[in-house]
């Protein structure tokens, strides 16, 4: 096993990628708040990550990545952009709620800061060990 391929390091790295994508999606939604007919987007990632990290899921041997194998491989978990088409918030059939987008932005910032701090801490511990405890 590679030193940087631990499940925690991979999960934190994937979470940072997801948070960066979420930031761009929220910015796009906010930029189109007054665009008639615009349907907002969101990033689907947390459920996939939760399933991949679920230690109770059975791990089954597979010979093809498309086979059903129980717990998902965490390196295969990737954020997915989804368009929400079912709701209408405003005249012009736009469904962007600026207040909800601001809440999503703040929540995403908290997740990003936590993930970046955790990854930095893990790398700091590795650096400490590499320097021989100095």
pLDDT averaged over the chain?
Answer: 85
What predicted TM-score, i.e. pTM, was given to this entire model? 0.78
pLDDT in tens, 111-121: 999 999 999 99
Dihedral sign computed on CA atoms, order 125, 130, 133, 134: negative
Query: In this predicted structure, what is the pLDDT of residue 85?
Result: 85
83 bridge partner residues: 41
Average pLDDT over residues 31-44: 92
CA dihedral 1, 51, 47, 108 (to 10 degrees): -30
Name the region of 17 (left: φ>0; alpha: ψ -120 to 50; beta: rest). alpha
pLDDT in tens, 54-103: 755 555 666 776 666 655 567 778 899 999 888 777 667 789 999 999 99
């Amino acid at each position: 096993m590679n030193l940087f391929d631990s499940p925690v390091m991979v999960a934190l790295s994937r979470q940072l990628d997801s948070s960066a994508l979420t930031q761009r999606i929220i910015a796009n939604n906010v930029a189109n708040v007054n665009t008639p007919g615009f349907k907002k987007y969101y990033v689907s990632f947390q459920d996939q990550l939760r399933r991949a990290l679920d230690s109770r899921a059975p791990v089954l041997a597979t010979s093809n990545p498309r086979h059903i194998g129980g717990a998902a491989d965490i390196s295969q978990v990737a954020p997915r952009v989804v368009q929400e088409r079912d709701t209408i918030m405003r005249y012009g059939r736009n469904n962007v709620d600026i207040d909800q987008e601001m809440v999503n932005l703040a929540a995403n910032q908290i997740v990003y800061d936590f993930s970046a701090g955790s990854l930095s801490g893990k790398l700091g511990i590795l650096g400490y060990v590499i320097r021989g405890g100095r």
